[in-house]
Amino acid sequence: MKIRRTAAAIAAVTAGAIVLSACSTPEVAGVEGSEARSVTVGWNQPMFSQNNLTAAGNATANANILYLTTSRFFHYNDSLELVMNEDFGTIETISEDPLVVELSINEGVTWSDGTPVDAADLILMWGAQNPRFNTTEQEYDDEGNPLPVADDQVFFSGTGPVMELVSQFPEISEDGRSITMEFDSVRSDWLMSMEMTPVAAHAVADLALDIPDAQDAKDALVAAFRDNDATALSKISDAWNNAFNFTSMPDDERLFLSNGPFVLNEFVENQHLTLVRNEAFAWGPVPNVDEVTFRFSEDPLAAITALQNGEVDLISPQSSVDVLQTLAGIDGIEYTTGVEATWEHLTLMHDNGGPFDAATYGGNAEVARLVRQAFLQSVPRQQIIDTLITPLQEDATVRNSFVFVPGAPGYDEAAAANGSDAFGGGDADKAAELLEQARALYPELPETIDVRILYGASNVRRANQFQLIQAAAAPVGFNVIDGGDDNWSSLVFSGGATFDAALFGWQSTSTMLLNGESNYVTDGQNNFSGFSNPEVDALWAKIAVAPDDTTDEVRAWATEMESHLFADGFGLPLFQHPGVVAHSARLQNVSTITLSPTVLWNFWEWETTGS
């Protein structure tokens, strides 16, 4: 299961107005242009990939829009309960020991080009997320861009631990619409990884192998995974990783095929993206509106102006004092505030040859740990809350857990026992004492230690956090260098050549403890820092096979795991994001949840009234 780097977490506050270039109303099948029931959403970051199951595409900016164009076996409702979509397909447990499950797509479910969604798409879902097929790893240049993988190598980015447990090729049903998977062992979150591929198997195979016939293309893809054909899989993995990344309307329809309620119709780079009704769609909740347009702006106040002027119907900007005061003064709109799914964190790089890497000190891991601890002691967590968050949320508190959400069961117990209390925030004396301990072990330690912090440069809140950290760390002996970059998302997984710490947000996609595993386990998909601790890995392994992660025993394992994160100086949780959602009176049934896709979760229930 993935935690997504969030668009909400990187909303940039910049000068200037929202881009509202003129464009004609897209034609919707069966609906006259002017009669189309449309909703316009003010959004902060454009989509950049059709494939959010890759490592690079695993971002909320993509996942939220794909939520409207991709069908799925289930979704979370506003009570955070899983709702199965049996109009699309079914997931049936055939056996519990060993775990055997059958995934079936209903007859009549198709991609937007009319090609049936079937077992080939399920094989792609399984194979492309199964690290067993990879023969190499991804490398990056200094700018964070992925380097090309050799033509004879197979590399599917975004693989995970669940599909790896299905080592045998799944059995395909006679009708070609189902697969049966037998797990070698069980993970408690296996269901959450049954996330339908957002790109079509026949499109991937055609792009990779030049097979235009849809059925022939699907057969070739299935055969490549069944036979572990490295020559074919090398081309298929390259298409999977790279072919579906775009920032404006592609000419090639294969790149944006939909099997959901909406299909991409128009995409103007950095301006707007329009989805129109998929008239063939009948395998899930059918939307009340005919088209949804996302207009992109990084300026929350400009988004509010657009809402006030009727240019957009719904916004979810980064909350600020100015935003709340402005919304309070506008008639004819509705807005709510609350805690978001996104939480802020500061994570240190452990393997980039920088100040927190043991290799910098001749391999002395204890020196590196003490330096990490000293820096984290200097971070003024409470000051950040008091200065930046409390004005937006009176009861805001420091977040003291990596995996438990404040207010959720288990949080208070974890926070009391996981070692977070050692980081009250901005303890210069304790930080200086730890640096002296490090110098006693490594006399060559510089008097002033450079630390480069990466964050979204245009994000005012992040810039303010950076400045508070910089000021607090300076007296201790850390020269905190501004590494702000609006390309931060690409740089995060580049290996840290340009930064030593990163400041951004994570957004949860499920309620399970294992939702956070990939951030902290060795070589986890979201573990960009190079952190590795055998005890942490072992505890996650125990949590993974627990049949119920809500028991006191499992929560105690998670708390113990967190104690290692704090003791080793992984980084620090900072705060849960304060949120705000505002919409015009003409848009009804707007709701939000504290998991991705937040305010979009029930888009099919949206209704419009008036003009």
* pLDDT digits 0-9 by tens, 473-508: 999 999 999 999 988 887 887 888 899 999 999 888
The single-letter DSSP state of residue 240 is I
* Pair of tokens at residue 141: 């240049």
**Sorting pLDDT into bands at 50, 70 and 90, what band is 210?**
very high
pLDDT at 424: 81
Q: Quick one: CA dihedral 366, 455, 313, 336, positive or negative?
A: positive
Q: Report which residue type is found at 426.
A: G
* Pair of tokens at residue 373: 């601890």
More confident residue, 582 or 30: 582
* Pair of tokens at residue 295: 């207009």
Residue 511 predicted with pLDDT over 90: no
Residue 34 predicted with pLDDT over 80: no
Whether the CB-CB separation of 69 and 211 falls below 8 Å is answered with no
Percent of the chain with pLDDT over 70: 93
Per-residue pLDDT reduced to its tens digit, 317-351: 989 899 999 999 999 999 999 888 889 999 999 99
Closest CA to 516 of 348, 421, 404, 409: 404
Give the highest mean pLDDT range of 35-39, 136-140, 175-179, 513-517: 175-179
**Sorting pLDDT into bands at 50, 70 and 90, what band is 142?**
low
- DSSP per-residue string spanning 261-273: SEEEEEEETTTEE
Residue 28 predicted with pLDDT over 60: no
DSSP three-state, residue 453:
strand
Q: Is the peptide bond before 597 cis (omega within 30 degrees of 0)?
A: yes
pLDDT at 144: 59
What's the average model confidence in pLDDT over 367-379?
98
More confident residue, 567 or 526: 567
Per-residue pLDDT reduced to its tens digit, 74-128: 999 998 899 999 999 999 999 999 999 999 999 999 999 999 999 999 999 999 9
The residue behind tokens 């996942």 is 63
* Total residues found in the chain within this entry: 611
Residue 12 predicted with pLDDT over 70: no
pLDDT at 422: 94
What's the average model confidence in pLDDT over 384-388?
96
Torsion of CA 269, 274, 275, 277, to 10 degrees: -150
Closest CA to 377 of 472, 248, 468, 501: 472
pLDDT at 143: 64
pLDDT at 1: 42
**What φ, ψ does residue 454 adopt, rounded to 5°?**
-95, 135
Query: What angle in degrees, to the nearest 10, is found between the helix axes of 365-378 and 428-441?
Result: 170
Which residue ranges make up each domain of the chain?
72-256
Residue 7 predicted with pLDDT over 60: no
72-256 to CATH, choices 3.20.110.10, 3.90.76.10, 3.40.50.150, 3.40.50.300: 3.90.76.10
User: What average pLDDT does the chain have?
Assistant: 91
Residue 419 predicted with pLDDT over 60: yes
pLDDT at 46: 94
**What φ, ψ does residue 305 adopt, rounded to 5°?**
-60, -40
- DSSP per-residue string spanning 521-586: STT-TT-TT----HHHHHHHHHHHH-S-TTSHHHHHHHHHHHHHHHHHT-EEEEEEEEEEEEEETT
The residue behind tokens 């006693």 is 440
d(CA 295, CA 311): 9
**Sorting pLDDT into bands at 50, 70 and 90, what band is 599?**
very high
pLDDT at 594: 84
Whether the CB-CB separation of 253 and 203 falls below 8 Å is answered with no
**H/E run at residue 384:** helix 381-384
d(CA 277, CA 603): 12
d(CA 80, CA 53): 22
pLDDT at 35: 64
Ramachandran region, residue 236 (left: φ > 0; alpha: ψ -120 to 50; beta: rest): alpha
The residue behind tokens 């968050």 is 389
Residue 259 predicted with pLDDT over 80: yes
Q: Is the peptide bond before 534 cis (omega within 30 degrees of 0)?
A: no
What's the average model confidence in pLDDT over 272-291?
97
Label the pairing between strands 571-584 and 587-588. unpaired
pLDDT at 548: 86
**How far is residue 448 from each of residues 355, 366, 477, 552, measured CA to CA in Å?**
11, 19, 5, 44
Q: Three-state secondary structure along 116-167?
A: ECCHHHHHHHHHHCCHHHCCCCCCECCCCCECCCCCCCCCCCCCCHHHHCCC
